[in-house]
């Protein structure tokens, strides 16, 4: 989890808007999976971004609490019909690549 939080703590990643579009949760025994589709806006390394991401996390229930076992995020396409009230939409020059990022956190 430290690896994922480090850019926030350093101030190199600032999320100003996190709008959850969809969330799915599955739990089987002591294992859980969360799948989130979200629109994010903010700054990464001083560059503005406005992006839709798919975020998945695998969880394990141990020691009486849920812990993230691994996580992945990748850019998701934005339907053409999605436009905010101010008429703006996601820019193409956000500092997120299409390859996604994966983390093992425990």
What pLDDT tens digit does each residue of the chain (106 aa) get?
666 677 768 877 889 999 999 999 999 999 999 999 999 999 989 899 999 999 999 999 999 999 999 999 999 987 765 555 565 555 444 444 445 555 444 4
Q: What is the pLDDT of residue 12?
A: 75
Q: What is the pLDDT of residue 97?
A: 47
Q: What is the pLDDT of residue 6?
A: 77
Q: What are the domain boundaries of the chain? A: 2-78+93-104
In this structure, whether the domain defined by 2-78+93-104 belongs to CATH 3.40.640.10 is answered with: no
Q: 63-92 burial by CB neighbour count: b if 16+ within 10 A, else e? A: eeeeebbebebebbeeeeeeeeeeeeebee
Q: Which pTM was predicted?
A: 0.69
Q: What is the pLDDT of residue 82?
A: 56
Cβ pair 60, 106 in contact under 8 A: yes
């Amino acid at each position: 989890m430290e690896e994922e939080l480090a850019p926030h703590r350093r101030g190199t990643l600032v999320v100003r808007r996190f709008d959850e579009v969809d969330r799915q949760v599955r739990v089987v025994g002591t294992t859980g999976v969360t799948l989130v589709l979200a629109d994010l806006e903010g700054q990464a390394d001083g560059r503005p971004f406005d992006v839709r991401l798919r975020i998945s996390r695998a969880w394990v229930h141990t020691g009486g609490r849920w812990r993230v076992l691994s996580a992945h995020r990748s850019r998701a396409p934005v339907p053409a019909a999605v436009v905010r009230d101010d008429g703006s939409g996601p820019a193409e020059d956000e500092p997120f690549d299409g390859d996604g990022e994966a983390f093992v956190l425990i």
